[in-house]
Each structure stands twice: as structure tokens, then as C-alpha cells.
Amino acid sequence: MKRICTFMLIVSSLFIFTACLDAVQPESYSYVFAIGIDKGKAKRYNYSLMVQTVGEKNDSSMVGSSEIFSAEGDTLFEAVDIIHSVVSGEMNFMRTSVIIFGSEVAKSGGAEDFSKVSFNSLRMRQSVKLLVAQGEALDFMKNLGSQYSQNLTRLQVDLVMDNKMGILPITSFSIMSENVMGGRLDPVLTLCNVAHGAKEGEDNAQNTSGVLRTGGMDSYVMGSALFDGWYMKGTIDENDTMYLLMARGQFEKGYMTYETKDKKIATLLIEKNADIKRKVDMKNKNVNLKVSLYCTVEFDETSSIREKWEENYKKEVEEKIRLQLERIAALVMELNCDSLGIGRLVSTKFYNTDAWEKYDFQEHYKEFKTNFDVEVELKDKNIITHMD
């Protein structure tokens, strides 16, 4: 018994002592929160690193604030070499949470070049989120906050919360690699934008996804970037993103404005009722998807939509959603992006790898036809709706 206790003590003490060797204080590190990748002028790429700013200990306004450093290089290591010499502290990639590709880089397959970076040697997590910026990534990063103090906190919160609500797709590096290598689903990345001069009253001002506004950061996340393997093929806005996520089975909540045949306007809040059901018919190359939703009619002056839902409006709403889903499915197919994951469904029909690989799904992808069946239940139909 004594020997066992002695042995256990020696073994457990070995775990403790190793961390004291060559210790580095946390304050000595410069943590890189985000990496932006744009086309370079002299070199292949221009890498922008958002590095955490260390402020006064009790200054809560400095939480999440950072500074941007950028340098050109053919690889990330070249750029880091340059930036390292001008940054105080040892650069540390363990807290890198987003990588933003500029649109040109995304279209030319820069994501594939980046995938060759050794995450292990940089100690970067493979769960780092990937985003695509409309325009330049550096521009997007610069507009995350005030001129000299960028703040990534809002972006991180938006990504997590909006993904949980089913408003934005989120793809990490490990998921994108898996999707591209597996060939059964093409990745969909979050799209980020900059609303330059989005101030009320300015002529020809760009605005936030078609809406004029004032206040807040110029940088925002909305919409999706569609990929065919490592190459970006197109982008869609936030409204189409909602339908794309519905077709992918990742939709949680959303809204649609509904104008009835008799010119009544209502805002329908829609949410997921049940998981999407998918079936593939290999013989006729048909993919059948059943989408089940709940709907709440929020604004309806006379409450007539709620009362006559079953007779008049249910089929209209279902048809409207179905048409939108089919439009999105046709759009992604035209771009040769398997954003709906038809490859995953088809792969379940094969019992061994040889047969699946011989089939070469990429060759047959466009032969498949998607059919949507939409069912919308009124969530509050049993509640008395008259307010007066």
C-alpha cells in the first residue's frame, strides 16, 4: 500500500513540475484575435492580424479591443515574421477565433492555400470560424469599432447568437476541410460587409443590405458565401440565407412579409416545427425534402388572417415558401454548389467506399432534382386573438 501511494505521488508530481520549465507570463503574449487575407500587391497575399490591445486592468471599455497589423507575404509565416518584429510581446494564435477571406481571395481558391498552413505549429484551433468579406477583409476589420480601437466582441457574439437562431451559417476550418475533402457537401461561409457612408441623407450612400440607417459599426455580418469546394461561386443576401438554411435543415427562426391575394399585409414569424426530412430516389434522381414550420401572425389589423388561416391563407403561405426554397435550390445548383448536402443523402445509398467513389457524385450532381414539401402550422390558432 505504501509503495502504491509513493508511486502515485511521484507520478502525479511529474504532471505538475513540467509547466514550470521555460514559463511565459500571459501579459507577455500578443494574442491574435482575427486574421484577414486579401490579394497582395508585391506578394501573393496581404495578411492582416487583429492583435489584442492590453489596456488598464479595470478599464472595461478595452475589453475585446485590438489593433490591426498587416504585411504581405506568400504564406502566413512570411507575414508573421515581419509583423512579429513590430509587435510588443510574443505573438500567440491560440485565441484566434475568425479568419476573414477577402472576396477576390475567396473566388480564386485562397482558402485552399490557407488550408496548407500548419495549425499545429501556430497552435491555432481548427475550430476557427471562416468568413468572407464583400471587398477587402482589411476594410471589414478596420470598421469593427472606432478608428483606432477595433473590437471583435460584437462580431463574435453575432456569429454565435445568429447561428443559434438559424439566421447565419457558421463554418469552422475543420468543417470546411471535411466538406471539401469528403465531397458530399459544399461549404457555406458567413458573409461580412462594410456599409460605407451609411448615413441618412447622404446621396448615393451605400447602406446596410439595402436599408439606410444611422449609428453603429460600419462592419456587419449578413448573408452567405456559396462555395464549390475551395472556390467561392456566389453570394446571397440575408433573406435568401434564411431559405438556404431552411433547405439545409439549419433553420430555427425567421420572418417573412406576406401580402395576401386580397392585399392584406402581415408579418409572419416562422420557426422550425420539426427536423427536415430528406429522401433520395436514386432511380429517378429525385431528392424529396419535407420542411415543417410553425408560424405566428404578428401584425394583422383585423385578425382575419388568423381566423381564416386554414381556409384561405395556409396553402398560399406554404406555396410561397416552397417557391422560394425551389428558387434557392436552383440557384445553388446552377453555381455547381452542393450547399444543400445532396451528396450526403446519396452516399447513404452505397454500402462500400469503392462503389461510392466509382459513382463520382460530382459528375452526377446536376442530374438530381429537388422537390420541397412545406407544411406550416399556425402556432397560436387556438388562442383568442381579438384584442378589443
Angle at Cα 68 formed by Cα 67 and Cα 71, nearest 5°? Answer: 150
Q: How far is the CB of 82 from other proteins (least distance, A)?
A: 23
CB 260 within 8 A of CB 313: yes
C-alpha closest to that of 92 among 51, 31, 172, 139: 31
Q: How far is the CB of 78 from other proteins (least distance, A)?
A: 21
Judged by CB under 8 A, does residue 143 bind other proteins? no
Q: What is the largest CA-CA distance in the chain?
A: 88
Judged by CB under 8 A, does residue 182 bind other proteins? yes
Residue 160 or 256 with smaller CB distance to other proteins: 160
**Of residues 323, 355, 366, 375, which one binds other proteins by CB under 8 A?**
355
C-alpha closest to that of 29 among 87, 108, 80: 87
Give, in order, the Cα–Cα distances in Å from 192 to each of 69, 211, 367: 20, 16, 32
Residue 121 or 214 with smaller CB distance to other proteins: 121
DSSP, collapsed to helix, strand or coil, labels residue 268 as strand
**Of residues 184, 233, 248, 272, which one binds other proteins by CB under 8 A?**
184
Alpha helix (H) residue ranges in the chain: 2-17, 76-84, 103-107, 110-115, 119-122, 137-142, 153-164, 173-182, 238-248, 304-307, 314-334, 342-347, 353-359, 361-364
* Interacting residues with other proteins between 304 and 343 (CB under 8 A): 341
CB 294 within 8 A of CB 377: yes
**Of residues 115, 134, 149, 177, which one binds other proteins by CB under 8 A?**
177
Task: Please give the single-letter amino acid code of residue 377.
Answer: E
Judged by CB under 8 A, does residue 181 bind other proteins? yes
Judged by CB under 8 A, does residue 2 bind other proteins? no
Alpha carbons 57 and 324: distance in angstroms, whole number: 51
Judged by CB under 8 A, does residue 135 bind other proteins? no
Judged by CB under 8 A, does residue 351 bind other proteins? yes
Q: How far is the CB of 101 from other proteins (least distance, A)?
A: 18
Judged by CB under 8 A, does residue 10 bind other proteins? yes
Q: How far is the CB of 134 from other proteins (least distance, A)?
A: 23
User: Going by C-beta distance under 8 Å and a sequence separation of 6 or more, which residues neighbour residue 301?
Assistant: none
Judged by CB under 8 A, does residue 277 bind other proteins? no
Residue 22 or 311 with smaller CB distance to other proteins: 22
Residue 96 or 150 with smaller CB distance to other proteins: 96
**Of residues 174, 267, 286, 362, which one binds other proteins by CB under 8 A?**
174
Judged by CB under 8 A, does residue 387 bind other proteins? no
Q: Other CB atoms closer than 10 Å to residue 309's CB: what's the count?
A: 18
Judged by CB under 8 A, does residue 4 bind other proteins? yes
Judged by CB under 8 A, does residue 212 bind other proteins? no
Q: Which residue stretch of 39-47, 101-109, 170-178, 252-260 sits at the interface with other proteins (rule: CB under 8 A)?
A: 170-178
Judged by CB under 8 A, does residue 120 bind other proteins? yes
* Dihedral sign from CA coordinates of 261, 264, 266, 272: negative
CB 221 within 8 A of CB 168: yes
Q: How far is the CB of 251 from other proteins (least distance, A)?
A: 15
Judged by CB under 8 A, does residue 369 bind other proteins? no
Question: Given strand 286-297, what is the order of strands in its sheet?
Answer: 253-259, 265-281, 286-297, 369-378
Judged by CB under 8 A, does residue 123 bind other proteins? yes
- Cell (9 digits) for 51: 492583435
- Applying CB under 8 A, the residues found at the interface with other proteins are 3-4, 7, 10-11, 14-15, 18, 22, 97, 120-121, 123, 125-127, 160, 163-164, 170, 172, 174-175, 177-178, 181-184, 341, 344-345, 347-348, 350-356
